[in-house]
Every structure is written in structure tokens, then in C-alpha cells.
């Protein structure tokens, strides 16, 4: 038997004022996208913003549905927007933020498992990694260099061949 270890490296910032101007602006766009959220059931609003390789910034938000689990997370809404409006143009950076109507919103959250899988697949599709900027409405910020770091040992299209 051999034992292996998986590590995820990330940078942590005290707040958005510690980020460079481009990253702070993208995080602010994600925070603005929170207001586009439809979350009457969970009361957990999520906004995401993506910077494409052509410089365009797009926003998405979570969209819930009474017919649970028919809702969509902000990250998957945003990836759909990106690939529909700008097919083949890579997402360079994605910022994700949230507002929890039932509690605190002052720490970074990470994409759910389905979104991690979708981000991983998208990186493969456009052959480019996505840098993630994760933060709440306030508080610390985490920056991860590539989305696939959040899904080690991912199931990919190569596994289906």
C-alpha cells in the first residue's frame, strides 16, 4: 500500500481592501449580483462574477425553485451565461459572494460539489484554469489559483473513454 496526500493552497486576505484593484472590482461585481438572486426558500443569496479572457465581466446569481432541487447555483448560472454568450472564450477569474438572510455573511464560502464538478469541466472545455476569489459580504477573502484544486480526483470525460 502507498499513502498519498492531497493539499489545497490558497491565499487569504483580511478583507477586500487588501486585494488588487481588478480582484476587488470583480468581488464587488459578485456582491452586486447577490441582488439578482432569487432565494425565497433558503434565504441564502449568492452572486458570482466572471472576468473573461476578452475583458468582459458577466454576473450570475442563484435561482431557487419550489420544485426542489430544480434551482441553480450562481456559479452554474454564470458558467451557462459565459458559454452561451461567449462560446470558447475562457473565464480567467470568478468571484463568489453571498448574503445569508438568516445569519452571518462574513466569511468565504466555497462552491458546492455540483458546482465544483461544473467548474472543473468548464476548465477542461476551454483549456484554461479559473482563478477563484471567495468572500462573504464582509470579512476575509480566499483566492484559489484554479477551480480544479477544489475537486481533487475529479470524475472527468477521460474516465468515460
Q: What is the distance between the alpha carbons of residues 28 and 51, in angstroms, rounded to a whole number?
A: 12
**Cell triple for residue 38?**
432569487
C-alpha to C-alpha distance for 52 and 48, rounded to whole angstroms: 13
User: Alpha-carbon Rg of the chain, whole angstroms?
Assistant: 16
- CA 143 to CA 10: how far, in whole Å? 6
Cα–Cα distance, 72 to 48 (Å, whole number): 12
| The one catalytic residue among 12, 22, 64, 75 | 75
Residue 12 known to be catalytic: no
Catalytic residues: 75
Amino acid at each position: 500500500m502507498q499513502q498519498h496526500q492531497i493539499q489545497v493552497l490558497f491565499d487569504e486576505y483580511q478583507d477586500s481592501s487588501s486585494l488588487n484593484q481588478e480582484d476587488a472590482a470583480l468581488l464587488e461585481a459578485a456582491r452586486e449580483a447577490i441582488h439578482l438572486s432569487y432565494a425565497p426558500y433558503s434565504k441564502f443569496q449568492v452572486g458570482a462574477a466572471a472576468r473573461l479572457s476578452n475583458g468582459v465581466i458577466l454576473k450570475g446569481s442563484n435561482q431557487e425553485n419550489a420544485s426542489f432541487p430544480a434551482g441553480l447555483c450562481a456559479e452554474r448560472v454564470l458558467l451557462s451565461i459565459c458559454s452561451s454568450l461567449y462560446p470558447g472564450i475562457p473565464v480567467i477569474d470568478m468571484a463568489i459572494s453571498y448574503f445569508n438572510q438568516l445569519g452571518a455573511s462574513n466569511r468565504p464560502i466555497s462552491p458546492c460539489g455540483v458546482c465544483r464538478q461544473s467548474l472543473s469541466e468548464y476548465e477542461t472545455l476551454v483549456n484554461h484554469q479559473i482563478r477563484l476569489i471567495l468572500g462573504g459580504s464582509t470579512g476575509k477573502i480566499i483566492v484559489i489559483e484554479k477551480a480544479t484544486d477544489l475537486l481533487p480526483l475529479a470524475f472527468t470525460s477521460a474516465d468515460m473513454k
